[in-house]
Amino acid sequence: MPEEVLFESESDRTRDEIASYLHSVAEKLESGDAITLKSGSDSVTMDPPARPTFEVKAEREGPAGGAGELSVEFELEWDEDGDSGRAESGQLEIE
């Protein structure tokens, strides 16, 4: 299935700034509100359902045995028709 990027923003931020963004998203999720992402003149508003699929991924990209780039990705996914249709996997813990 082809992917269409609706919004993208990438910038260096402090850990405190990133935590603030994530707190804002968490507050919107808790209250059931839509999430609006803005950067300059670009923006998109999305309204996750009550039970989207939550994916957490830790990755290392780069040559085998050499220095690479590390990332942690948090992703919410849902079908546009509102049906997530995904099976539940193991319990996620963040320590």
Please give the full DSSP string across 21-47, using - where no structure is assigned.
Answer: HHHHHHHHHHHT--EEEEETTEEEEE-
- Identify whether the C-beta of residue 43 lies closer than 8 Å to the C-beta of residue 36: yes
Q: Tell me the whole-structure pTM to 2 decimals.
A: 0.81
5-35 pLDDT tens trace = 999 999 999 999 999 999 999 999 999 999 9
- Alpha carbons 92 and 72: distance in angstroms, whole number: 14
User: What stretches of 1-95 adopt beta strand conformation (E)?
Assistant: 35-39, 42-46, 53-61, 69-77
Q: Can you give the pLDDT at residue 81?
A: 81
Lowest mean pLDDT among 46-50, 74-78, 90-94: 90-94
